[in-house]
Amino acid sequence: MSDHRTTAANPPCMPNQRLQRLLLTGAAGTLGRMLRPRLQASCELLLLSDRISCGEIGVHETEQICDLADRAAMLALLQGVDGVVHLGGVSVESPFEQVAASNLHGVFNLYEAARLSGCKRIVFASSNHSTGCYEQGQPLSVGDKPRPDGYYGVSKLFGENMAQLYWDRYGIETVSLRIGTATPEPEDRRALSTWISPDDLERLVRAALFAPNVGCLTVYGVSANSERWWSAEGWDRIGYEPQDNAEAWRERVQGIDFAAGSPMARLQGGRFLGLGPFEPQPQPQP
């Protein structure tokens, strides 16, 4: 039997490529709403999925409400799908049980459904919070040791490793995107390093969706910020070339920050370091 794995460099994706049926999970969320109109050019039919309705459905769209934690529903969702942009799940630091249902069990259900349905390409929305406990300003590459800043970050590392398993065992290709601050504009000092513009996010997702022979690849998702902390490692393999730079907003946002010396101001995870723990500390008995 031939080995499906490869380490060869890949040429950039072609901008006019299209899939027949593309699944966008988490379509009702913040990133889902941002990417939904931008993915229309990538497919003949865009299948929108979330736990709630995504609103009015366009001519080249269809909708299937689905809970990631429901294995049978996920198998039905993946039928006939050519590729997945997986944004679904809990998107902020939350109690472990909430994170686990969608971001652990849901990721397994996604990959198992992909295996059973024959879908061979997933773009997985990982997160910079997988390395959020490094000091701000410290340059990082994908190969650096993970240092998650909470349960959410741990769940994204679980997803990256599930992707590796399903590539090595079953040949399902994944590009995991450690997405930074995906907002229309940078909102604080940290975002001068971590921001990814909507246009660059679109470029990144399309590159990850169509680049050939990616195997299992993890890249940081960030714009071409002058002070970015994260390596461009892997961008050449998928043909991602960011065009935007947070520097244009420096004067407006450089003074917006958390209290000096706090974990939120000191570590790369920012505000996520201020969330939790979620269980009250037991009080000593008198």
- pLDDT averaged per 10 residues, the chain (length 286): 42 65 98 97 97 96 98 98 98 97 98 98 98 98 98 98 98 98 98 98 98 98 98 98 98 97 98 94 79
Q: Is residue 177 part of a domain?
A: yes
Classify residue 218: in a domain, yes or no: yes
pLDDT digits (tens, 9 = 90+) for 89-128: 999 999 999 999 999 999 999 999 999 999 999 999 999 9
In a domain, 27, yes or no: yes
Active site residues: 152
Structural domain span for residue 38: 19-274
Number of domains in the chain: 1
Domain-embedded: residue 2: no
In a domain, 148, yes or no: yes
Residue 201 lies in a domain: yes
For residue 286, what are the CA distances in angstroms to 15, 281, 283?
69, 15, 9
d(Cα 13, Cα 183) in Å, to the nearest integer?
25
For the entire predicted model, the pTM comes to 0.93
Give the per-residue pLDDT at 106. 98
91 located within any domain:
yes
In 3D space, the residue among 178, 134, 181 whose CA is nearest the CA of residue 159 turns out to be 178
For residue 16, the model assigns a pLDDT of: 60
User: What distance in Å separates the CA atoms of residue 199 and residue 223, rounded to the nearest whole number?
Assistant: 9
pLDDT single digits (tens) 131-175? 999 999 999 999 999 999 999 999 999 999 999 999 999 999 999
Q: How far apart, in whole angstroms, are the C-alpha atoms of residue 238 and residue 9?
A: 9
The pLDDT value given to residue 1: 36
Token duo for residue 246: 């947070």
Domain CATH code at residue 125: 3.40.50.720
| DSSP, res 122 | E
In a domain, 195, yes or no: yes
* 42 neighbors 17 (Cβ within 8 angstroms): yes
